[in-house]
A and B are shown apart, each in its own frame.
Chain A
């Protein structure tokens, strides 16, 4: 039985440059700040950064794993507050957890926390799921 206040167990996703290339191809977002280190630095970024929407897609996986599949996700929102920085030949963590804050009419509202390197990358991240 799911109850308000329940924690959704933390999960870590790993993001490397190869995943950024795969996401660029799968999403059609070929912005070079997500693939080209020299370009990213030329526009003032510390290094290549992950697509905000890749971060959100992975958080979506975290949510739908808990709620019972992609079809159970009804609403999903987030603010991108800091980038996930992805250096060459390294991998960045995306550490996700959540808490159940409301249950109404068979739907649960999750408040989600997402960090990378200990830094909060999403704010006001919420998902409404059918349970």
Chain B
């Protein structure tokens, strides 16, 4: 079970994420995107999903990540990510409910560059009963 005190809290990421051109290239290549000047729209998941995993499965929150499936995903992209970005991350546990024994958690990840919001990404994760 998720620690109920963690709902509504914002957890800072462990360290800033530095985006390299080779990371953008590798991601773009998978989907056949030839324009490498900016990152593809879903590139930020590279940083946010592992960060959410670290925070949600950590001792303060206590989610069982081994039973997590990805339910929903949403991105708001204020500007595209580019190589050279150094992004501070945070994860906010926006909602939590239990339905038919499944835990459903929505976490919002914010990526900021020098304080400016670049991407917000919402992941709804279902911990199967």
User: Hey, which bits of chain A sit against chain B, CB under 8 A?
Assistant: 19, 22-23, 25-29, 52-54, 56-58, 60-61, 63-64, 69-71, 73-80, 124
Contacts and interface: CB of A to CB of B under 8 A. Distances in A.
Q: Does more than half of chain B's interface fall in helix, strand or loop, or is it mixed?
A: mixed
B33 A19 contact: no
B42 A76 contact: yes
Contact of A57 (B35, B42, B70, B76): B42
B31 A58 contact: yes
A28 B47 CA distance: 9
B69 to A, nearest CB: 8
A63 B42 CA distance: 12
B73 A78 contact: yes
Interface in B48-70: 49-50, 69-70
Closest 3 CB pairs of A and B: A77-B74, A73-B41, A26-B26
Q: How large is the interface on B (under 10, 10 to 19, 20 to 34, 35 or more residues)?
A: 20 to 34
A77 to B, nearest CB: 4
A70 B41 contact: yes
Best-surrounded residue of A26, A53, A56, A80 (most CB of chain B within 10 A): A26
A129 B55 CA distance: 31
Given A60-B41, A71-B38, A76-B42, A26 B74 contact: no
Given A77-B72, A77-B75, A79-B71, A71 B45 contact: no
Q: Does more than half of chain A's interface fall in helix, strand or loop, or is it mixed?
A: helix
B35 A78 contact: no
Contacts of A29: 49
Interface of B: 23, 26-27, 29-33, 35, 37-42, 45-46, 49-50, 69-77, 79-80, 122
Given A70-B35, A71-B38, A73-B41, A54 B77 contact: no
Given A28-B50, A60-B31, A76 B75 contact: yes
B76 A74 contact: yes
Contact of B29 (A22, A56, A74): A22
B26 A25 contact: yes
Contacts of A53: 42, 45, 49, 70, 73
B40 A60 contact: yes
A29 B69 CA distance: 13
A73 B46 contact: no
6 contacts: A26-B26, A26-B30, A53-B70, A60-B41, A60-B42, A80-B72
A22 B30 contact: yes
